[in-house]
Structure 1
Amino acid sequence: MNKEKKQLRKKYLQERLTLSPLQWQEKSKQICQHLSESLLVSNSKIILSYLSFKQEPDLSLLHHDKRKIWGLPRCQGNELIWHQFTSVNDLEIGKYGILEPSTHSPLIYPHQVDLILVPAVGCDRFGYRLGYGGGYYDRLFAQPLWQNIVRMGIVFDFAYVDKLIKESWDKPLDYICTESGIKTPIKEQKE
């Protein structure tokens, strides 16, 4: 693993954990507000999301919108399997101590998905994402069936930076949402 990436990951995770519960809730609420007002979200029927872990932006306010079908990830081996979010009663603690949908929840397949809200430790202005280092989303986005689905990274402003280190397998996100709004990444110039 790249040492510089590891240090950046630690820095942003520590900064996230320094937010007071009130700051975290307020910033998360602002992100949810931007998302709920977005045409991208309003025009999507099936949206893949996540449940907040270690003070990630909390999107659970959105999951109550019954006009949408919300999908949540479940770790299976080294892959993410997506299940429909039906109720908090159908969640269980998964592989990393993260709440996941039970295996009994209906599956969601790539051809059904309109939008993926992607958790991130950090994102840059070119759309590249710093994840947790497990490679789950990298493997997902490398699969042909998932490549053309719109992906929006979700981070707090302090973790939205000019430029991150990128690896050959990194795929840029289509949008990034922070508490200050939804941003469209800068397209990189080919050399």
Structure 2
Amino acid sequence: MKEQIRKEMLGKLRQVPAEERIRMEQQLTAAVCASDEWKAAKTIGVTWSNFPEIATAGIIRKGLEEGKRMVIPYSGKNRVMTFHEYLPDTPMARSKFGIMEPVDKSKPVPSEAIDLLLVPGLAFSEIGYRIGFGGGYYDRYLASYKGRTLSVLFPFQLFEDPQWEIEAFDVPVQKLLTATF
């Protein structure tokens, strides 16, 4: 069931008209940066998104402009994810999953230093359970992460009731911000 929903959501994300996508992404960036969670956070974890995901470049840029410490994940061995500080001159490379990750992984930022984590996903239930991209990296990370979590999504990614089985290791995202059409 999860794989079917992943496929369906990826298809829908690819079909969002460019003008509508830009408008909704700008709306979501503004909503994130206006949130209490953002305002209170000094260090923010966020994935450098890849089309057709919702763009995070604006969120990262805004965080740097506001003097926040932005940290980007690295997908390591045994599905262990670590976060590393990102600055505009940070060398990045495409991972085996096609996402941009920091090249230098020598200084991971401990999870307790991350105040807010923007969690990616393809489908979300109204109570925060999500279907990710299938690697399990975020599920493992969230199992011990104690900070605030937030996800951004387009309206069609939100399900009133989960259409999938919630598993014992699933950790719900604390706050969902949904764009409007």
**TM-score normalized by the length of structure 2:** 0.89
Matches within 5 A, 1:11-50: 11-50=8-47
Partner Cα separation in structure 1 for residue 28 and residue 175 of structure 2: 13
Query: Following TM superposition, by how much is the alpha carbon of 1:46 offset from its aligned partner in structure 2, in angstroms?
Result: 0.2
Partner Cα separation in structure 2 for residue 45 and residue 17 of structure 1: 33
The residue aligned with 2:74 is 74
Could you tell me which amino acid in structure 2 is paired with residue 30 of structure 1?
Q
Q: Is the 8 A contact 2:37 2:148 kept in 1?
A: no
Could you tell me which amino acid in structure 1 is paired with residue 51 of structure 2?
K
The residue aligned with 1:141 is 142
Partner Cα separation in structure 2 for residue 85 and residue 105 of structure 1: 13
Partner Cα separation in structure 1 for residue 134 and residue 89 of structure 2: 27
Partner Cα separation in structure 2 for residue 105 and residue 157 of structure 1: 38
Partner Cα separation in structure 2 for residue 132 and residue 157 of structure 1: 18
Partner Cα separation in structure 2 for residue 53 and residue 88 of structure 1: 19
Which structure 1 residue ranges, 5 or more long, are not aligned? 181-191
The residue aligned with 1:151 is 149
Which structure 2 residue ranges, 5 or more long, are not aligned? none
The residue aligned with 1:167 is 167
Q: Is the 8 A contact 2:81 2:137 kept in 1?
A: yes
**TM-score normalized by the length of structure 1:** 0.85
Could you tell me which amino acid in structure 2 is paired with residue 69 of structure 1?
R
Q: Is the 8 A contact 1:128 1:173 kept in 2?
A: yes
Partner Cα separation in structure 2 for residue 104 and residue 139 of structure 1: 19
Q: Is the 8 A contact 1:36 1:62 kept in 2?
A: yes
Alignment RMSD: 1.6
Partner Cα separation in structure 2 for residue 36 and residue 62 of structure 1: 7
- Percent identity of the aligned residues? 25
Query: Following TM superposition, by how much is the alpha carbon of 1:96 offset from its aligned partner in structure 2, in angstroms?
Result: 0.8
Q: Is the 8 A contact 1:84 1:105 kept in 2?
A: no
Aligned residue pairs total 174
Query: Is residue 2:50 matched to residue 1:53?
Result: yes
Query: Following TM superposition, by how much is the alpha carbon of 1:21 offset from its aligned partner in structure 2, in angstroms?
Result: 2.5
